[in-house]
């Protein structure tokens, strides 16, 4: 389903090549559907536990979408981390998260 | 203790901070924001997901990031923040009584901006049958626990309501390791953005029951389950379609209500359709000197629009504080016509460019939006969950006949 | 390991009866422990009533009429019955007690109105009450349509006439009564254990061993004041020739914003099939007790059903047309018990097979007779062998509870300068401060509900949507327990059972 609400059906042959689109209203839909089939990416927004801070959680996000199949694994990975102040907005908390060429950055600050 | 301020802003959420900034930039010297939480930002702090700022900043930001832009600007402008402070009273004479750990203060303001936002509709307000165990939360309160306090409300969740808040919590709780057993929605379609339908429900294979409602809550000490049933076209449960879902938590996402307790204290009448004060295009309420912006006036969909409303309210408040009288000698009432639930502002002067926020009543396709005789706009799709913002230029407004008192806004199907 | 507790009298149940008895007993040199199954005092029917302490006025008669299904030939309650005597005594004792315990109350007027011919016919018995009973009820009078409108501007225009009792009852918040009685009892040496459901009683040589979920208690005497569960507990202590049956009625609380809809109790002279009693609580919220009396499905049937709420509002609208379901902030059902042996009476007697086990299974109305029942039970304990030596240092007074919202600005400022926590408003809807919440926990509140009934925090229109997380944090901090162990109502009702990331720990990375 595309962001406009059209339900797009994609027919794929055995090689994974796209044969046909149906149900989309515009060219954007075709592009979107193609992208979703080859790489359905999602920006992950979540929180990290903190240490030595009055705030119990620091909100973070991936600075690029990651494959949606990796979302739960990423959550488990992040659940084991703890972050200490000071942290500024945009600061990289984890570089190259799980080798996906994507960084995990702070979306709020953690003052001392 | 008493003190004088030029502009007092109640609430440091997106509307309040934006209002304070514009008030300061508009020339008001002493601008004070009063906020009950210990940090500014309002609900943006618990909205750790993205989708904010797409129109205002042309960036895709998370709630905290969006809030921080404005908070930093407010701090640069040396706006006073009174955090951890509750407004106890507001009078029509613009006296604001506040309480915090330092004591009680009365601020005598030259202008006030109401920016208290919304509260959530509760289980009792929607008359859900059943018991009152622990484990029933409104979606926003659950969001506060998960994203700010650091606790997960349960491990088997049912969510009533497929508005954006409900869907976002479905995803959030799934990501935090809970199992969302069902999302139950009374209408035959999703209440929020399609994007959320995809990324929050579809992505995680969360069972969603459209055209259903909850007919009973079970559990004496803690929630043990809910019974759901299909509804007919009147929204009434259909006998024989009941299904029980075991769960330990119920999240209620049944809509927001503007928080106007203080507005009532000041004697401001609340519009029964919007739930907030009626305002003119300067975001001024019926009481001169008291302005309002954001969700306290009507429930918005996008924080970007909340910011814009706050800005108008703040700029107008500064004008009032500096006694720059802007005489709006004309007052035209905007009337909600066919398929229009409400229009904000409710009155305009037609003497300056004005943006109207319009909410339709029902979803429809291929419609014509008409504003009096001065605007006709064909639209492909309209939905109640997506507010329309229509700018009326000075030229268009000047096209209005002299002596016109009412202007009807309608949204009928195109023939 | 749970310590073995010992006492002379064990009271089972922290409702209006149990706490009343505890307070009465605390006048004597008697070791007393009260065990309550839930996490807060007055958790059963004692908090579910409309909070009226009434005797034989219009409210008293209403109950009778309701029970007799609108039979115009009803006789008043037999004034010689034990129940009526206890009620009369209780009503006479309450004013002093309310003042001594610094409980908030108001005198309440009652207006019975007829909006149709049937109701009009039922008005007659109400009018004769004043003459029959006299005393404070002597001012009962007929009011015609104009007079009714003058008294109640929001009343329906269909009103024909009414009967007005200028003084008919004392209005309180029912939970205030149990809390105050227990606090004063504790001040005078009584102890209370919460979350302590009784699971069994064994008679031993010279004492009774009562098993509770907080451990066993060795006691000489037992008072069974277990309210809805008095029959279950009675079985643990011995034989009984009575059972309990539960009626059920649905109550609705309205937003304070519409508190002006009534300014005294307004009701219809109806039978059990469609009654409506509309009261305004002390705090300003309107409470509507309306519907048709049904039978409860068991002892836990205190939830609400949508169709009953709509019926409740429908009947209320017949009196006050402005009332709307849009203004509902809370709803629940009361399931008052009566005994099967003689539904018109209380059961207050020792168990036939265990003379030191006193069963106290009372019926409506339960608030009014409480002080008299307490004295009556203490006398029975004395007859059963309990030594009753009065304490010379019994303190009948409880200090007034501080309510920030009721103070002047100056008084507020002074309070905050003494303790800054009183400046931190936690519950926005009811204006309750951190200071008051901490104080409630010091006074014995252990749960969110306990804090709620002691302070009103969470009783407002947002129903703790805003203050909930803050109250949970304060309770955890003050009791030095993890937030994940804070409960709503006591055992098995934790608010937020898991810490962030706690559920993910159980998932392995693929």
pLDDT digits (tens, 9 = 90+) for C459-508: 999 999 999 999 999 999 999 999 999 999 999 999 999 999 999 987 65
Does the beta carbon of C507 lie under 8 angstroms from any beta carbon of chain A? yes
Q: Tell me which residues of chain C have a pLDDT lower than 70.
A: 1-3, 63-79, 271-272, 507-510
Cα(B117)–Cα(B46) distance, integer angstroms: 14
Model ipTM value: 0.94
Show which of residues 255-274 on chain C sit within 8 Å of chain B, judged by CB atoms.
Answer: 257
Given CB atoms, is C493 within the 8 Å cutoff of chain B? yes
Each residue's pLDDT tens digit, C47-101: 998 899 998 888 887 766 655 544 444 445 666 789 989 999 999 999 999 999 9
Place of tokens 């024989």: B240
Contact B181, B223 (CB under 8 A): no
Whole-angstrom distance, CA of residue A44 vs CA of residue B199: 11
Measured from the Cβ of residue B42, the count of other Cβ atoms closer than 10 Å reads 27
C11 token code pair: 């009271």
C-alpha distances in Å from residue A60, one per residue of B403, C14, C291? 56, 49, 53
A5 contacts B48? CB cut-off 8 A:
no
For the record, the structure tokens of C436 come out as 């008051």
> Counting beta carbons within 10 angstroms of the beta carbon of residue C241, is it exposed (0 to 12), middle (13 to 18) or buried (19 or more)?
exposed
C142 CA to chain B: closest CA distance, Å?
37
Answer whether C504 sits within 8 Å of A79, measured CB to CB.
yes
Q: What is the pLDDT of residue A29?
A: 58
Cα distance from A78 to chain C (closest Cα, Å)? Answer: 9
**What percent of chain B shows pLDDT beyond 90?**
89
Chain B adjacent subunits, 3+ CB pairs under 8 A:
A, C
Contact present, C28 and C390 (Cβ < 8 Å) = yes
Is C424 within 8 Å of chain B by CB?
yes
Instruction: Give start and end residues of each alpha helix (H) in C226-385.
Output: 230-237, 306-319, 370-383
Chain A environment of C501 (Cβ under 8 Å): 49, 79-80
Taking the C-alpha atoms of residue A76 and residue A92, their distance in angstroms, rounded to an integer, is 19
CB pairs under 8 A between B and C: 154
Closest chain A residue to C501 measured between Cα atoms? A79
pLDDT tens-digit readout, B73-110: 999 999 999 999 999 999 999 999 999 999 999 999 99
pLDDT tens across C385-424, in order? 999 999 999 999 999 999 999 999 999 999 999 999 999 9
Residues C302, C49 contacting (CB under 8 angstroms): no
Q: Which helix (H) or strand (E) holds C126?
A: helix C124-133
Inter-residue contact B298 to B258 (CB < 8 Å): yes
Contact across the interface for C504 and A49, Cβ inside 8 Å: no
**Which token pair is A30?**
């075709």
* Nearest CA distance, C378 vs chain B (angstrom): 34
Residue C116 in contact with partner chain B when CB distance is under 8 A: no
> What pLDDT digit, counting tens, does each position of B4-28 carry?
999 999 999 999 999 999 999 999 9
Alpha-carbon distance B186 to nearest alpha carbon in chain A (angstroms): 19
Q: Would strands C265-267 and C106-114 be described as parallel, antiparallel, or unpaired?
A: parallel
With an 8 Å Cβ cutoff, is B59 touching chain A? no
Q: What is the DSSP pairing of strand B290-292 with strand B256-258?
A: unpaired
B407, β-bridge pairs: B334
Does an H or E element contain C439, and which?
Answer: helix C434-442
Q: What is the spatial distance between Cα C105 and Cα C53, in angstroms, rounded to a whole number?
A: 10
Chains touching C (at least 3 CB pairs under 8 A) are A, B
Of C500, C505, C510, nearest to A47 by CB-CB distance is: C500
Could you say which of B36, B129, B151 has the minimum Cβ distance to residue C499? B151
Of B63, B148, B175, the CB nearest to A46: B175
- What is the interface size between A and B, counted as CB pairs within 8 Å? 63
Best mutation target among C250, C333, C448, C463 (most B Cβ atoms within 10 Å) is C463
- Grouping H, G, I as helix, E, B as strand and the rest as coil, residue C451 is helix
- The minimum CA-CA distance between A1 and chain B, rounded to whole Å, is 7
**Beta bridge pairs of residue B390:** B356
């Amino acid at each position: 389903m595309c962001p406009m609400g059209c339900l797009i059906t994609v027919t794929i042959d055995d090689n994974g090549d796209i044969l046909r689109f149906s149900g989309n209203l515009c060219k954007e839909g075709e592009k979107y559907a193609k992208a979703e089939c080859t790489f359905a990416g999602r920006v992950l927004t979540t929180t990290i536990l903190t240490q030595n801070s009055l705030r119990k959680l620091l909100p973070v996000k991936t600075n690029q979408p990651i494959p949606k199949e990796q979302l739960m694994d990423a959550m488990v990975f992040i659940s084991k981390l703890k972050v200490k102040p000071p942290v500024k907005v945009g600061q990289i908390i984890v570089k190259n998260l799980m080798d996906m060429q994507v960084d995990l950055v702070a979306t709020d600050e953690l003052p001392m | 203790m008493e003190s004088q301020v030029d502009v007092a802003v109640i609430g440091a959420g997106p509307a309040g901070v934006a209002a304070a900034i514009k008030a300061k930039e508009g020339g008001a010297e002493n601008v004070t924001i009063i906020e009950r939480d210990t940090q500014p930002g309002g609900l943006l702090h618990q909205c750790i997901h993205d989708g904010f700022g797409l129109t205002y900043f042309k960036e895709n930001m998370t709630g905290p990031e969006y809030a921080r832009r404005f908070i930093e600007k407010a701090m640069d402008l040396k706006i006073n923040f009174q955090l951890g402070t509750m407004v106890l009273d507001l009078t029509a004479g613009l006296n604001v009584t506040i309480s915090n750990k330092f004591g009680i203060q009365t601020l005598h303001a030259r202008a006030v901006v109401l920016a208290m936002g919304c509260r959530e509709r509760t289980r009792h307000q929607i008359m859900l049958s059943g018991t009152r165990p622990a484990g029933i939360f409104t979606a926003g309160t659950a969001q506060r626990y998960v994203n700010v306090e650091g606790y997960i409300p349960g491990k088997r969740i049912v969510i009533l309501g497929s508005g954006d808040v409900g869907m976002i919590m479905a995803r959030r709780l799934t990501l935090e390791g809970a199992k969302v057993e069902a999302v139950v929605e009374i209408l035959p379609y999703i209440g929020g953005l399609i994007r959320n339908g995809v990324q929050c429900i579809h992505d995680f294979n969360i069972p969603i029951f459209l055209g259903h409602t909850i007919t009973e809550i079970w559990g004496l000490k803690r929630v043990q389950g809910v019974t759901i049933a299909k509804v007919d076209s009147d929204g009434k449960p259909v006998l024989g379609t009941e299904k029980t879902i075991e769960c330990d938590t119920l999240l209620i996402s049944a809509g927001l209500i503007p928080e106007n307790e203080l507005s009532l204290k000041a004697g401001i009448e609340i519009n029964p359709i919007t739930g907030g004060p009626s305002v003119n295009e300067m975001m001024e309420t019926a009481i001169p000197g008291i302005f309002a912006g954001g969700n306290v006036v009507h429930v918005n969909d996008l924080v970007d629009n909340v910011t814009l409303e706050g800005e108008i309210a703040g700029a107008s408040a500064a004008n009032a504080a500096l006694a720059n009288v802007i005489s709006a000698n004309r007052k035209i009432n905007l009337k909600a016509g066919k398929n229009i639930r409400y229009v904000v502002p409710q009155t305009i002067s037609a003497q300056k460019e004005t943006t109207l926020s319009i909410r339709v009543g029902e979803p429809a396709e291929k419609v014509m939006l008409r504003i009096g005789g001065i605007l006709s706009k064909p639209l492909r799709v309209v939905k109640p969950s997506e507010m329309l913002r229509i700018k009326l230029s000075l030229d268009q407004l000047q096209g209005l006949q002299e002596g016109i008192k009412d202007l009807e806004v309608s949204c009928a199907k195109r023939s | 390991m749970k310590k073995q507790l010992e006492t002379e009298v064990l009271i089972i149940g922290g409702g209006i009866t149990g706490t009343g008895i505890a307070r009465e007993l605390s006048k004597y040199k008697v070791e007393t422990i009260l065990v309550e199954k839930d996490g807060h005092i007055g958790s059963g029917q004692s908090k579910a009533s409309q909070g009226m302490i009434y005797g034989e006025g219009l409210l008293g008669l209403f109950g009778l009429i309701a029970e007799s299904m609108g039979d115009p030939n009803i006789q008043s309650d037999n004034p010689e019955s034990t129940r009526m005597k206890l009620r009369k005594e209780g009503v006479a004792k309450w004013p002093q007690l309310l003042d001594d315990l610094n409980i908030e109350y108001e005198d309440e007027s009652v207006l019975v109105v007829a909006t149709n011919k049937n109701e009009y016919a039922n008005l007659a018995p109400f009018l004769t009450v004043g003459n029959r009973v006299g005393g404070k009820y002597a001012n009962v009078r007929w009011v015609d349509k104009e007079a009714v409108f003058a008294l109640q501007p929001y009343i329906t225009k269909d009103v024909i006439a009414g009967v007005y009792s200028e003084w008919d009852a004392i209005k309180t918040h029912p939970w205030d009564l149990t809390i105050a009685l227990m606090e004063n009892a504790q001040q005078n040496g009584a102890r209370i254990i919460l979350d302590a459901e009784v699971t069994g009683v064994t008679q031993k040589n010279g004492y009774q061993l009562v098993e509770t979920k907080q451990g066993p208690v060795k006691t000489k005497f037992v008072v069974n004041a277990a309210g809805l569960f008095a029959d279950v507990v009675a079985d643990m202590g011995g034989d009984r020739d009575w059972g309990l049956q539960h009626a059920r009625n649905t109550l609705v609380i309205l937003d304070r914003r519409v508190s002006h809809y009534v300014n005294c109790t307004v009701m219809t002279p109806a039978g059990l099939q469609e009654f409506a009693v509309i009261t305004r609580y002390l705090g300003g919220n309107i409470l509507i007790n309306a519907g048709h009396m049904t039978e409860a499905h068991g002892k836990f049937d205190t939830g609400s059903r949508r169709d009953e709420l709509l019926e409740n509002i429908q009947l209320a609208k017949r009196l006050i047309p402005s009332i709307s379901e849009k203004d509902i902030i809370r709803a629940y059902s009361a399931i008052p018990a009566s005994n099967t042996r003689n539904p018109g009476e209380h059961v207050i007697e020792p168990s036939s097979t265990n003379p030191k086990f006193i069963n106290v299974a009372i019926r409506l109305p339960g608030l009014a007779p409480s002080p008299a029942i307490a004295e009556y039970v203490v006398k029975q304990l004395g007859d059963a062998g309990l030594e009753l030596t009065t304490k010379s240092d019994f303190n009948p007074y409880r200090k007034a509870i501080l309510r920030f919202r009721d103070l002047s600005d100056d008084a507020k400022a002074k309070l905050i300068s003494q303790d800054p926590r009183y400046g931190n408003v936690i519950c926005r809807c009811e204006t309750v401060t951190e200071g008051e919440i901490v104080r409630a926990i010091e006074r014995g509140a252990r749960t969110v509900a306990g804090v709620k009934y002691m302070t009103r925090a969470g009783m407002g229109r947002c129903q703790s949507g805003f203050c909930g997380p803050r109250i949970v944090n304060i309770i955890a901090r003050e009791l030095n327990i993890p937030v994940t162990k804070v409960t709503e109502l006591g055992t098995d009702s934790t608010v937020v059972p898991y810490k962030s990331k706690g559920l993910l720990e159980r998932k392995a990375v693929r």
